[in-house]
Amino acid sequence: MSRLDKSRCAPLLCYVTDRRSLVATEAAETLKVLLQRIGDAAAAGLDWIQIREKDLSGKECSLLALEAVQCTANPATRTASSAVPPSRARASAAAARIFVNDRLDVALAVQAGGVHLGEKSLPAQEARRLVVSLHREKNFLIGVSCHSPEAAKAAERGGADYLFFGPVFATPAKAAYGAPQGLERLAEVCRAVSLPVLAIGGITLDNCAACLSA
């Protein structure tokens, strides 16, 4: 059973990282800029931050995820050098939840708030079994990316806590995978499961309200 109740779940905003989109000359500098971006996102009040850097080694991913967990643990301690104005800073001391994409081992090792699984990742039911065996189920969420109502139902049966669905709108990052799914398909997935569904792909301020209504 999901630890999230869709009927009581307020809209969630999740930042999915992609350091290749950042402007930096050196690899170390890119990671520094990314951590700054993660800290700013947490301070601005984002609910979730997903570390999605698929090309990193296990060691590199764990170091990045650990620093992300540490730098978001208490947004109230962010320094004046932050790019986030005080008026936009998180009002409470609640930390943003850090997720690690695909790497359940890394997520558990760094005490992250959850793992996000793709279609080629460890099945949700196996991830859930391991999390329960380690007595981490109370504060650890498992998310799954899906692209159809059938996949959404399977993820729910497997023990997922939430779903990503998309791409809802056209976006260069997903152009190779074909046409966007659209709002009607998003609504179909939302009706098919009791889990919270986060729309992804081409989401902007202009179309986010339509996604929330789906």
pLDDT tens digits, one per residue of 167-192 = 999 988 877 777 899 999 999 999 99
CA distance 20 to 30: 8
Give tens-digit pLDDT for 98-134. Answer: 999 999 999 999 999 999 999 899 999 999 999 999 9
Query: 143-153: b or e for each residue (b if 16 or more CB lie within 10 Å)?
Result: bbbbbebebbe
Q: State the CB neighbour count (10 A cutoff) for residue 56.
A: 18
Average pLDDT for the chain:
88
pLDDT band at 6 (very low <50, low <70, confident <90, very high): low
Candidate CATH numbers 2.40.50.180, 3.20.20.70, 3.40.50.1370, 3.40.1130.10; the one for domain 118-214: 3.20.20.70
Three-state secondary-structure class, residue 120: coil
Q: What is the pTM of this model?
A: 0.88
Give tens-digit pLDDT for 155-172. Answer: 999 999 999 999 999 988
Instruction: Taking residues 50-72, report their average pLDDT.
Output: 96
Q: Are 65 and 107 in contact (CB under 8 A)?
A: yes
Q: Provide the angle, in degrees to the nearest 10, between the axes of the packed helices 149-157 and 183-192.
A: 30
- Residue span(s) of the chain under CATH 3.20.20.70 come to 118-214
Indicate whether 68 pLDDT > 50.
Answer: yes
| Structure confidence at residue 96 (pLDDT) | 94
pLDDT band at 87 (very low <50, low <70, confident <90, very high): very low
Indicate whether 76 pLDDT > 70.
Answer: no
| Structure confidence at residue 110 (pLDDT) | 98
